[in-house]
Amino acid sequence: MSKPVAVVTGASSGIGAASAKALAGAGFEVVLGARRLDRLEEVAEACGGRALELDVTDQTSVDAFTDAIDRCHLLVNNAGGAVGAETILEAKDEDWQWMYETNVMGTLRVTRALLPKLLESGDGQVINIGSVAGREPYATGGGYNAAKHAVAALSRVLRLEMFGQPIRVCEIDPGLVQTDFSLVRFRGDQDKADAVYEGTNPLTAEDVAETVSWVATRPPHVNVDQILLLARDQTSARVINRSE
Ligand code: NAP
């Protein structure tokens, strides 16, 4: 019997790469998408998956990516991130547009394109990687908060619209996870990125990947709607224990 197919966006690093590996370990045939094809191919090789170039901000790229996928049982919308940490007063349009295009429009484009194949599978599932930032606004988080709140809205609307259809929808909202996330947010400034995780014990990409894999392997009648996943050292977006 052929394996179920899982598609993971943003699988070239961090949570996406770890999720692709975890899903392969759980018995899925994995299709990995991201812009950095060299890194993507390394991850694909490690998990026996298929690497396909994908820029979720570009409809032509999304079309080429999704056209190359015949069967799809699970879509993990993980591509995303933050750029900048300015106040609303100092917000830069291009940063907000990047965050909206990547997190929100990217999730919309890939989901819309793969929904017919997810439905055809007879047991489809969409897992969206949101964030604690999509539940709880914080000062200097405006653009990322707005984008992840929109991902949360999209997830819940999709769940409502798929009612009665063989599609499950889950939103996983991690808190602090040590990945390249902060390096991207601070435009390559390693010191600023390191300071985010200093003195604390954050989640790892593998912690989130295990959660993705657990959600993905529940029986078909079980829909895990939402998960807020925090490190023990974090109780809300900005309350982080740094006593280590
Ligand atoms: P990461 O290591 O920077 O991974 C981000 C991934 O998104 C990369 O694989 C990147 O690949 C991909 N990506 C970015 N823009 C893309 C585009 N236009 N098209 C396709 N892929 C794109 O950070 P991460 O922490 O694993 O982030 C994964 C997700 O978790 C994001 O949605 C993030 O918002 C969310 N999250 C992270 C944290 C955290 O603290 N780390 C907490 C909560 C939620 P390429 O650059 O190769 O395209």
Give domain limits for the chain: 5-240
Note the pLDDT of residue 238.
92
Note the pLDDT of residue 4.
98
Residue 100 annotated in active site = no
10 C-beta closer than 6 A to ligand 1:
yes
102 C-beta closer than 6 A to ligand 1:
yes
- How many A from CA of 181 to the centre of ligand 1? 6
- How many A from CA of 79 to the centre of ligand 1? 5
131 C-beta closer than 6 A to ligand 1:
yes
Residues 6+ apart with CB under 8 A from 100: 143, 146, 147, 150
Note the pLDDT of residue 1.
82
Query: Which of 21, 179, 204 to mutate for ligand 1's pocket (most ligand atoms within 8 Å of CB)?
Result: 179
176 C-beta closer than 6 A to ligand 1:
yes
Backbone CA torsion sign across 107, 109, 113, 115: positive
- How many A from CA of 161 to the centre of ligand 1? 26
> What pTM value is reported for the model?
0.98
The CATH superfamily assigned to 5-240 is NAD(P)-binding Rossmann-like Domain (3.40.50.720)
Three-state DSSP state, 32: strand
Which residue ranges of the chain lie beneath pLDDT 50?
none
